[in-house]
Each structure stands twice: as structure tokens, then as C-alpha cells.
């Protein structure tokens, strides 16, 4: 639960984004005042024509009034254009200031909550650049009502009654549509998630004959969404119809009342027509506000959601720069829970790894291995305990800085739309071709990349769909090794690899250890553990065994059934092969050093 101080801070972030445009908002208010004053040109021109020009039959007066009115109409149009441009600019400036915070929410939040922050920001920006103009005109309605009172109290009462009735309709519409708008937003998000799910898994759905069933699930969500949308649109149509009816009746009533006053010589014909136009002008801001009310409600709800998102995901202050880690990883009594859940999937895990070490983590599916890996690289928070690199926690570095010292290959490897080189280099703008090729060579993927249509400049497609699963996995390994990070965490790195790929993986792990890095390898297959020196057995979130790899394997073999012992014997033989690879690399390095000497 967020503290009051955190809520105040988050609320101030949105308000702070408006402060630089405060002068522009004041300019919009001034421009709106000028526009509304210039809108009096029409009724005053008509009043002068009927009460001054027609009785005097003066052509010069008519020409002068017409030219003056034309100039005022041109100025009115100019100010309306300027106001529109200023509102668009205000929306853009607000979005530019809040976008980094919204992207921070997107990076920290899980699932659709992060995307909702971006959509909310777009909604606020869109309303600020368009529908907000009606609400700058609304405060000028009393001026038109006052002028109608100046013409005749009866006319003023009629216009005031119409404005009050329209305001009541607006208030009632807000009360009736607020809840339905919130439901529509929730249903729209759920429908969007279902649509994206079907798009991502289209091939699997077709292959398993699930298309009809998945379409049924999607249509069920869609029908619910459309039913709510139809109800909301029906209510809005009733409100708009009532508004138009009231406006038409009121205009006719004011005209009839003016005619009655003319008949009884209590007003002139010019006043009658001018009052009719003023009635239209007085009700126009109210009517425009009603027309843009749905946009206002959506923007208000978006503001509240974005405020809440910033409250729960406050911006991080830039920490004091400290040296990148190069000695030790310490995990002390760490428990990990799935974000937005209270259920712990890892409980009280502790271990220490020093430079040049590699830890293998094994265990049945669902034992918490991937969750522990996400916590170790700092993308999931710890429920309890602490993770330190050279004695410092992750929040003591800027995330982009510490990210350069970490390599991570997730279980589900996804590449980003771009070239192979951009993906390996983590889209660094200052990347060098040499550093990219070094990472590719360490992952033993250089030759494979050269065989692609455009080599390192080959476009991988959205999610890496232009490549096979094994190619994505090996390029993902090169991305994890780019820049020779200190800590490299590989989650099921051999899931899509052939035998050549597995040998390349072993060499990569050996290389990490030889250059003084730390590797953590999560695997079901024993071959991936050949190059590690430490082994952890994780079961149901608890560390069952931890120690030197060979000792843990012997302990497991002693308590395992015969078939499992045979599999573990194969693992030990593969481990010996991994040690041989490491020894050969050390011998080659020694020979090269002697040659240089």
C-alpha cells in the first residue's frame, strides 16, 4: 500500500508536468475571452441594423457596420486558429514531460497495466488538443445571459432557465455514464489482451485445431464489450436528443417571447433578433461541453489511473555513481513472489558466488528456478532477503548502467524488431562492429550469422519471427554475452540447441569463468551443467542441496533410482568433457602468453 507521502509525490508529478505550460494555458484562457467577446459581433450587428440602419435608411452606416463586423469576424477566426494550435501544443508538451514516467510504469508493471498508462497519456493529450476548448468557453455563458437580462428580464430568465436545464442534463449524463465508461475501459483492455494472445499464438492454435474454440472465447468477450458499448451509446443518444430538443424549444420560445414584447412595445425588433442569437450563443458552450463530455470523462478517468500508476511506481532518483561489480554475487535469505501475488515461489534461498565461478540450478518444473533467475538479475523484486553485487544492491546503480554488467538469456527468447547486430548490441547507439562480432564469436554464432541473407544486417522481424528457434536462442546468447558482462544468467539456454549449439554453450560458460565473470545456468539437461563448478537443487521453492557440482551429483546418485543414476553418470561424463574444454583453453592461453613473451 502506498504511503500518503508517495501519493502526494505521484500526484505532484502530473501537476508538475503542467507547470511549464501554465503560461500557455493562461494564454488560451485570454484567447478564449477575446473569442467570446468577438462572438458578440453578430447579435450587436443585427441589433444596429434593425434599430439604427433601417429607421434611418443610411447606406453609409450599413457599409461601415458591415466592414467593421467583417473585420471582427476575421479576428475571431484568427484567434480560434491560434487557440487550437496552442491547445495542441500544450497536449504535446504535457505528453513529452510525462512520457518518460509512463514508460517507466510500462517497464516496471506486469501485463496490460503498463500499456494502460501509455493509453491514458494518449487520451489526456488528445482531449487537451481538442475537446478542452469547449470548457474554456463555458465560463463565458453568464456574460450572454447577463446581456439577455439587459435587453429584458423575461428574456434573461428564459435563457438562464435553458442553461440550467442543459447543465442538469449534463450532470445526470455524467452520473449515468461514469460507471459504464469504466466498465467499457476494463472490457476493452480484456478484449485487447485476448486479441493479442490469439495473434501471438496463431500458428499453435491452427496446428492444434483450436481455432473455433478460441474464436468462440474471443467472440464471447467481444459480445459483452459490444453490449456495454451499445448501452452506453444508446444513453448518449438519448442525452443528445434531449439536448437538441431543449435547445430548439428554447430558441423558439425566446423568439416568441421577443415577438410578444415587440407587440406590447416593450422591446424593438432588433432586440428580439439579437436576443435569439444570444440565446444560441449562450447555450453553445453548454452544448459543446455536452458533446465533448465523454472525452472529458475519459480524460478524467485516465488522469486518475495515470496518477495511481505513478503512485504505485514512483520514479527512481539517479543514484551516486559507483564502480561496476567484478568480485562477488551474494544472495542472502531471498524469497521471491510473483508480482501482484502474495504466493512465494522461492523461499529463503542463500548462496555466494565469486569471480570465476559458475552455478548450475536444477529441479523439477515449477520449482522456482526461473523466478529466482529474474530476481538475481534484478527484474523481479525480492519479497524478503537481499541480493548484492560487490556488496551493493541493484538500486544503488542506474538500471541502464548496471544492465551493462549483466547478461540474461530468458527461458522464452524474444528478439526485438531490428537487425541481428542491433539485437546483439542491445540497440546501443555507440556500438562497434568489433564488439558485436566478439560477442557472436563467444556464442559461436558468427558463421551462422554470415550465412543469413544480409549477415549482421538481416532484419529479424517482430519477436525474431524471421529466424528459427535455435537461431533466436544462439543470438540471444550472443546478446547476453555482449560487452563481456560480469554476471551472466542463462535460463534453459540449450532448450532449442543442437549438439553443435550445446558445445558452443559450454565454451561460452568456460569463457565467462576464465575472464573472471560469474555464470548461473538453469537447465533440465545435464549437458549444460558440464562447465559449472557449483550445483543447486531447487524443489518447490526450497534449496534442497547446494555445493560443489561433483559432490551434489554423488549425493543425488546415492539416493536416486537406477535409471536416474545412469543419467547422472552421463552428466558426470559430460562434465569431465567440459573440464577438458576448459583445460585446453587454459593451455592455449598459456601457450599464447609464452609466444608473446
Share of the chain above pLDDT 70, in %: 86
Task: Supply the pLDDT for residue 352.
Answer: 92
Task: Supply the pLDDT for residue 530.
Answer: 83
- Give how far Cα 118 sits from Cα of 11, 95, 123, 474, Å: 17, 10, 9, 33
pLDDT band for 597, please (50, 70, 90 cuts). very low
93 vs 284, higher pLDDT: 93
Task: Supply the pLDDT for residue 573.
Answer: 52
Task: Supply the pLDDT for residue 309.
Answer: 77
Count CB-CB contacts under 10 A for residue 311: 17
> Helix H segments across 201-268?
202-207, 211-263
Task: Supply the pLDDT for residue 564.
Answer: 47
Mean pLDDT of the chain: 80
For range 74-99, the mean pLDDT: 88
pTM score: 0.65
Which residues have C-beta within 8 Å of that of residue 524, sequence separation ≥ 6? 362, 492
141 vs 440, higher pLDDT: 440
Here the cell at position 149 is 437580462
Task: Supply the pLDDT for residue 520.
Answer: 93
Question: Which stretch of 64-78, 87-101, 191-205, 463-477 has the lowest confidence by average pLDDT?
Answer: 191-205
CA–CA gap between residue 482 and residue 421 (Å, rounded): 11
pLDDT band for 6, please (50, 70, 90 cuts). very low
DSSP state of 463: B
Task: Supply the pLDDT for residue 79.
Answer: 92
Specify whether the CB–CB gap between 91 and 129 falls below 8 A. Answer: yes
Instruction: Compute CA 90 distance to the chain's CA centroid, rounded to the nearest angstrom.
Output: 21
* Beta-carbon-side half-sphere exposure of residue 397 (alpha carbons within 13 Å): 21
CA–CA gap between residue 33 and residue 27 (Å, rounded): 10
**H/E run at residue 520:** strand 518-522
Here the cell at position 503 is 558445445
- Burial of 494: CB neighbours in 10 Å, binned 0-12, 13-18, 19+: buried
Report angle CA 160, 166, 168 to the nearest 5 degrees: 105
Specify whether the CB–CB gap between 94 and 18 falls below 8 A. Answer: yes
Task: Supply the pLDDT for residue 591.
Answer: 41
402 vs 287, higher pLDDT: 402
Task: Supply the pLDDT for residue 357.
Answer: 92
Per DSSP, which regions of 299-363 are E strands? 328-337, 344-354, 358-362
DSSP state of 390: T
Question: Which stretch of 4-18, 358-372, 503-517 has the lowest confidence by average pLDDT?
Answer: 4-18
Task: Supply the pLDDT for residue 267.
Answer: 78
Count CB-CB contacts under 10 A for residue 576: 12
Task: Supply the pLDDT for residue 594.
Answer: 38
- Give how far Cα 299 sits from Cα of 110, 129, 236, Å: 23, 12, 17
Question: Which stretch of 21-25, 182-186, 548-552 has the lowest confidence by average pLDDT?
Answer: 182-186
CA–CA gap between residue 436 and residue 478 (Å, rounded): 8
Rg (CA), the chain: 35
Question: pLDDT for 328-370, tens place per residue?
Answer: 999 999 999 887 677 788 999 999 999 999 999 998 888 888 8
Cα four-point dihedral sign 217, 219, 220, 226: positive
Instruction: Compute CA 583 distance to the chain's CA centroid, rounded to the nearest angstrom.
Output: 48
> Helix H segments across 129-152?
133-137, 141-151
- Give how far Cα 170 sits from Cα of 96, 247, 282, Å: 32, 13, 15
* Beta-carbon-side half-sphere exposure of residue 445 (alpha carbons within 13 Å): 31
Amino acid at each position: 500500500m502506498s504511503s500518503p507521502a508517495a501519493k502526494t509525490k505521484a500526484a505532484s508529478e502530473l501537476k508538475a508536468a503542467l507547470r511549464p505550460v501554465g503560461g500557455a494555458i493562461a494564454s488560451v484562457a485570454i484567447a478564449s475571452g477575446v473569442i467570446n467577446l468577438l462572438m458578440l459581433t453578430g447579435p450587436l450587428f443585427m441589433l444596429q441594423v434593425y434599430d439604427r440602419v433601417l429607421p434611418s435608411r443610411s447606406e453609409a452606416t450599413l457599409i461601415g457596420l458591415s466592414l467593421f463586423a467583417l473585420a471582427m469576424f476575421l479576428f475571431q477566426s484568427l484567434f480560434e486558429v491560434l487557440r487550437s494550435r496552442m491547445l495542441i501544443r500544450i497536449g504535446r508538451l504535457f505528453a513529452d514531460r510525462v512520457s518518460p514516467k509512463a514508460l517507466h510504469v510500462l517497464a516496471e508493471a506486469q501485463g496490460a497495466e503498463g500499456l494502460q498508462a501509455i493509453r491514458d497519456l494518449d487520451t489526456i493529450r488528445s482531449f487537451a488538443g481538442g475537446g478542452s476548448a469547449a470548457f474554456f468557453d463555458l465560463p463565458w455563458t453568464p456574460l450572454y445571459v447577463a446581456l439577455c437580462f439587459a435587453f429584458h428580464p423575461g428574456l434573461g430568465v428564459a435563457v438562464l432557465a435553458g442553461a440550467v436545464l442543459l447543465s442538469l442534463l449534463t450532470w445526470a449524463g455524467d452520473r449515468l455514464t461514469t460507471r459504464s465508461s469504466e466498465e467499457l475501459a476494463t472490457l476493452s483492455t480484456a478484449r485487447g489482451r485476448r486479441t493479442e494472445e490469439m495473434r501471438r499464438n496463431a500458428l499453435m492454435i491452427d496446428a492444434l485445431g483450436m481455432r473455433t474454440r478460441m474464436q468462440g472465447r474471443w467472440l464471447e468477450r467481444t459480445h459483452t464489450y459490444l453490449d456495454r458499448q451499445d448501452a452506453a451509446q444508446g444513453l448518449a443518444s438519448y442525452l443528445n436528443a434531449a439536448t437538441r430538443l431543449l435547445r430548439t424549444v428554447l430558441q423558439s420560445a425566446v423568439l416568441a417571447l421577443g415577438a410578444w414584447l415587440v407587440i406590447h412595445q416593450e422591446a424593438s425588433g432588433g432586440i428580439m433578433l439579437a436576443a435569439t442569437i444570444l440565446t444560441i450563443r449562450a447555450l453553445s458552450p453548454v452544448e459543446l461541453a455536452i458533446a465533448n463530455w465523454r472525452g472529458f470523462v475519459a480524460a478524467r478517468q485516465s488522469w486518475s489511473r495515470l496518477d495511481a500508476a505513478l503512485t504505485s511506481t514512483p520514479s527512481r532518483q539517479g543514484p551516486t555513481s559507483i564502480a561496476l561489480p567484478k568480485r562477488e554475487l551474494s544472495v542472502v535469505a531471498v524469497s521471491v513472489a510473483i508480482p501482484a501475488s502474495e504466493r512465494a515461489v522461492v523461499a529463503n534461498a542463500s548462496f555466494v558466488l565469486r569471480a570465476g565461478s559458475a552455478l548450475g540450478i536444477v529441479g523439477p518444473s515449477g520449482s522456482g528456478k526461473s523466478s529466482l533467475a529474474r530476481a538475481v538479475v534484478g527484474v523481479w523484486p525480492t519479497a524478503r532477503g537481499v541480493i548484492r553485487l560487490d556488496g551493493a544492491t541493484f538500486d544503488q546503480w542506474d538500471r541502464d548502467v548496471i544492465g551493462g554488467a549483466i547478461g540474461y538469456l530468458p527461458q522464452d527468447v524474444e528478439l526485438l524488431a531490428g537487425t541481428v547486430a542491433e539485437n546483439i548490441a542491445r540497440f546501443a547507439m555507440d556500438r562497434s562492429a568489433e564488439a558485436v562480432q566478439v560477442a557472436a564469436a563467444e556464442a559461436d554464432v558468427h558463421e551462422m550469422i554470415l550465412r543469413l541473407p544480409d549477415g549482421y544486417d538481416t532484419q529479424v522481424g517482430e519477436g525474431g519471427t524471421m529466424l528459427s528457434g535455435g537461431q533466436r536462442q544462439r543470438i540471444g546468447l550472443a546478446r547476453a554475452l555482449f560487452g563481456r558482462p560480469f554476471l551472466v544468467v542463462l535460463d534453459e539456454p540449450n532448450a532449442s540447441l543442437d549438439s553443435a549449439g550445446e558445445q558452443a554453450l559450454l565454451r561460452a560458460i568456460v569463457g565467462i569463468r576464465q575472464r573472471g565473470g560469474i555464470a548461473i545456468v538453469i537447465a533440465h539437461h545435464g549437458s549444460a551443467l558440464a562447465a559449472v563448478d557449483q550445483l543447486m537443487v531447487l524443489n518447490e521453492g526450497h534449496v534442497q542441496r547446494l555445493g560443489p557440482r561433483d559432490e551434489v551429483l554423488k549425493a543425488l546418485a546415492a539416493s536416486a533410482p537406477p535409471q536416474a543414476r545412469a543419467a547422472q553418470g552421463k552428466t558426470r561424463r559430460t562434465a569431465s568433457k567440459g573440464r577438458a574444454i576448459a583445460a585446453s583453453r587454459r593451455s592455449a592461453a598459456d601457450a599464447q602468453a609464452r609466444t608473446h613473451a
